[in-house]
Structure 1
Amino acid sequence: MGCTYAILGTGALGGFYGAKLQKAGYTVHFLLRSDYQQVSHNGLIVESKDGDFTLPQVNAYQNVEEMPRCDVVVLSLKTTQNHLLPQLLPSVVKDNGVVLVLQNGLGIEAEVAKIVSHVQVIGGLCFLCANKIAPGHIHHVDYGRIILGEYSSNYQITGIGDKIRQIALDFENAGIEIELTTDLLLARWKKLVWNIPYNGLSVILNARTDELMADEYTYKLVENLMYEVVAGAKSTGRNIPDNFIPTMLDYTNKMTPYRTSMKIDYDERRPLEIEAIFGNPLRTAQSLGVNLPQITCLYQQLKFLDWKNRNISYS
């Protein structure tokens, strides 16, 4: 029935989608680190606005070498762990299989394509509010839709093939809303319209999404940052429609008050995903002659806060 799935990174996002797939009857294998003992003995608990459920038994692994090769490898690690991908991906993805990148930021698919050949790389943009509240215990707060797009060299616009349609069908059978796109690069930039202002400001200003929206000054700052992301997208030949920013602001106004994933990482003193979400878009735009001064300001502040928070030196 459908594809076999490996989840590399069983946090809030990987745990939620992997659990939904297993609940729907698909074979899913979960790679875990700190939660391995808890999950291998007690399974996964999902508290969800769509209905709570428990998976008493899951296929849990501490080492990728012990995992079987799967049709689809779901990459849901934090991008700060992507230096491990050359050790993780080759042994778990089948030849002619798929690596599904469910990570934030820009340019990750291109990095994956360099590591594993003879596989298809698909990018996924997850619109999910979920937190891991205890080992193996995920709280799904809101949303859950994923936009899927095939990666092709240099993010050229591509078609929609059989493999991506099969994955979409599997996810839809698991109760996950899926949208397919032929332009993965545009979809990535559109996701950054939300991720850059809210993730960055939530850390710098110690604020939830609702607090950022309630104050007239931070609301304006969010809006200005969104327009800079649009300028970054334009530098790569991707035009984000004029109505997209008002739509994102309205979407966030209606959202359940939310502590962003970057703010949670900061509060837990974990490394922040600064390079994937801020550094890569900045460098991409700058290489094309476009400077994004307000996003640069966020980037520089976040680099300092991350360094101070973890009390380490950058080499």
Structure 2
Amino acid sequence: MVNFSYTIVGAGAIGGFYGSRLQRAGGKVHFLLHSDYQHVSQNGLLIESPEGNFTLPEVNAYRNVGDIPPSDVVVVALKTTNNHLLPKLLPPLIKDTSFVLVMQNGLGIEEEVAKIVGAQRVMGAMCFVCSNKIGPGHIRHLDYGTITIAEYLPNYQSVGITQRMRQLAADFESAGIEVLLSEDLLISRWQKLVWNIPYNGLSVVLDATTEQLMADREMRSLIEQIMQEVALGAQSWNRLIPESFIEKMLVYTTKMKPYRTSMKIDYDLGRPLEIEAIFSNPLKIAAKAGVNLPQIRMLYQQLKFLDAQNC
């Protein structure tokens, strides 16, 4: 049973997948769409998954935020390159008891959302999932799917496990999604970057899938070095990422089905890359603590060049 009502802002590979699972479990879900609106409003959503394919022939599809009734939970699943739209998108979707679940990649993004809706409304979600949108209203889930949820406080203070975290987890678990509850959003954000920074960055720079990267001894070594540098960034803010976590990410990726990362897909399609949230913000945060991350900075500079040439 799904207790909260949901509005999904950004119904692509991530928002569309999790939102569809919530609706299939009986939840009241509204989808804010852009280019897919006409198709989804007429045909619904199609989800392919190793856990079972399914179709939602009827969904609550909207093109304008003003037409969407306020929900308990507003899920922000846009690419961070579109976060400049949030000051106009979020306020009409909020009611007195609403909160916002930031289901995006990168660091420092909850702060942006808090400026719009207030820090007390903001939670972060880190999704470890392989999912692609392969056509209008058509999402292909390939592997994994776990969500880590944490509360946000200014300056990323640790807040512990709250009741609304447990309620949110219960909704996703009723939809068949594994949920981990984190007492510390900042460490969870850095942990997600352990995967996002090397694989997203190198997949674009080297034109490679995760399988190709992991099959090469030199690349696997480089990935591990970059992961250790991410851990150094986390350590600069007194957050410890153990070597065992890095090894776990390497093992997970080795076992993962061949995957073209979201940044590689964006690059191949000529879309802007999420460089600022995933690379620039961590570099700035580490630099404030006096820590230099040279390999991550090199990846950042390469991606900035490629992004400028590509768009």
Normalized against structure 2, the TM-score is what?
0.98
Q: Helix, strand or coil: the match of 1:11?
A: coil
Q: Is it true that 1:82 corresponds to 2:113 in the alignment?
A: no
Measure, in 2, the Cα distance between the counterparts of 1:118 and 1:71.
16
Residue 266 of structure 1 and its aligned partner are, at CA, apart by 0.3
Residue 119 of structure 1 and its aligned partner are, at CA, apart by 4.7
Amino acid across the alignment from 1:92: L
Partner of 2:8: 7
Measure, in 2, the Cα distance between the counterparts of 1:94 and 1:213.
46
Amino acid across the alignment from 1:57: E
Measure, in 1, the Cα distance between the counterparts of 2:65 and 2:163.
27
Q: Deviations over 1:247-298 (max 9, x none)?
A: 1111110110100000000001011000000000000001111010000000
Partner of 1:51: 52
Amino acid across the alignment from 1:163: R
Measure, in 2, the Cα distance between the counterparts of 1:198 and 1:294.
13
Measure, in 2, the Cα distance between the counterparts of 1:132 and 1:306.
21
Partners of 2:151 and 2:185 within 8 A in 1: yes
Residue 163 of structure 1 and its aligned partner are, at CA, apart by 1.3
Measure, in 2, the Cα distance between the counterparts of 1:22 and 1:125.
20
Residue 96 of structure 1 and its aligned partner are, at CA, apart by 2.7
Amino acid across the alignment from 2:175: A
Residue 118 of structure 1 and its aligned partner are, at CA, apart by 7.4
Measure, in 2, the Cα distance between the counterparts of 1:149 and 1:235.
21
Partners of 1:101 and 1:121 within 8 A in 2: yes
| Gapped regions of structure 1 (runs ≥ 5) | 311-315
Partner of 1:268: 269
Partner of 2:64: 63
Q: Helix, strand or coil: the match of 2:239?
A: coil
CA distance 1:38–1:119, change in 2 (3 Å): farther
Q: Deviations over 1:168-204 (max 9, x none)?
A: 1000001110010101100100110000000000000
Q: Is it true that 1:228 corresponds to 2:229 in the alignment?
A: yes
Measure, in 2, the Cα distance between the counterparts of 1:243 and 1:164.
26
Amino acid across the alignment from 2:185: L
Measure, in 1, the Cα distance between the counterparts of 2:305 and 2:217.
26
How many equivalent pairs are there?
310
Cα RMSD of the aligned pairs, angstroms, is 0.9
Q: Helix, strand or coil: the match of 1:220?
A: helix
Q: Is it true that 1:182 corresponds to 2:176 in the alignment?
A: no
Q: How does 1:194-209 map to 2 (within 5 A)?
A: 194-209=195-210
Partners of 1:96 and 1:118 within 8 A in 2: no
Partner of 2:302: 301
Measure, in 2, the Cα distance between the counterparts of 1:172 and 1:93.
24
Q: Is it true that 1:247 corresponds to 2:248 in the alignment?
A: yes
Partner of 1:30: 31
Q: Helix, strand or coil: the match of 2:208?
A: coil
Partner of 1:313: none
Partners of 1:97 and 1:119 within 8 A in 2: no
Q: Deviations over 1:29-49 (max 9, x none)?
A: 000000000000000000111
Q: Deviations over 1:189-228 (max 9, x none)?
A: 0110000000000000000001111111111110110010
Measure, in 2, the Cα distance between the counterparts of 1:210 and 1:12.
20
Q: Which deviates more, 106-115 or 202-211? A: 106-115
Measure, in 2, the Cα distance between the counterparts of 1:143 and 1:62.
30
Residue 92 of structure 1 and its aligned partner are, at CA, apart by 0.2
Partners of 1:3 and 1:72 within 8 A in 2: yes
Residue 242 of structure 1 and its aligned partner are, at CA, apart by 2.0
Q: Helix, strand or coil: the match of 1:246?
A: helix
Residue 117 of structure 1 and its aligned partner are, at CA, apart by 2.4
Normalized against structure 1, the TM-score is what?
0.97
Partners of 1:209 and 1:258 within 8 A in 2: yes
Measure, in 1, the Cα distance between the counterparts of 2:241 and 2:95.
36
Identity fraction in percent = 63
Q: How does 1:26-175 map to 2 (within 5 A)?
A: 26-117=27-118, 119-175=120-176
Amino acid across the alignment from 1:99: V
Q: Which deviates more, 115-124 or 22-31? A: 115-124
Partners of 1:225 and 1:294 within 8 A in 2: yes
Partners of 1:95 and 1:118 within 8 A in 2: no
